[in-house]
Structures are given as C-alpha cells and as structure tokens.
Amino acid sequence: MNQTTTQPISNYRAREASHYLGIGLSTLWLYAKQGKITPIKLSSRVTIFKRSELDNFIESCREENTTAKTA
C-alpha cells in the first residue's frame, strides 16, 4: 500500500492568494500597494505571496473586527 502525503501549499500566485483570502484580484493588489501584505517578485511576470503572511493578515483582520465590536 502506497500512502501519499500532501504538504500544504506554502506560496500562492496572485489569483490563488485572492481565492484563499476570499477577495478579488484587484483588492489583493490594492492591499499589496497599501503594505497590508507583501508580494514577492520572482521574475518580471511571476509574483507570489507566502501563505504564512496571508494567514497573519486574516488573523489581524479578525482581531480588528473583534476590537471594533467591543469598542
């Protein structure tokens, strides 16, 4: 029996990152321009986003929503 284990994806291209965050592609680029998330340029046509940073961004958004509701 051959068991294959898949490792979670650690980097996403822009379209994949926008799907992961549940936002539009233009919103992803807006957040990158605003410095909310950091794109990593691999070449002139390839940019990636680290999953760990996307997860941190999601967590910070949750914290902002929680803080706003209690204020």
17-57 pLDDT per residue, tens = 999 999 999 999 999 999 999 999 999 999 999 999 999 99
Better-scored residue on pLDDT, 41 or 3: 41
Q: What pLDDT, in 10s, does the model give residues 45-55? A: 999 999 999 99
Distances (CA, A) of 8 to 12, 24, 26, 46, 51: 11, 22, 25, 20, 9
- The per-residue pLDDT for 13 is 97
Any idea what the Cα angle at residue 33 is, between residues 45 and 43, rounded to 5°? Answer: 15
* pTM flag (> 0.75): yes
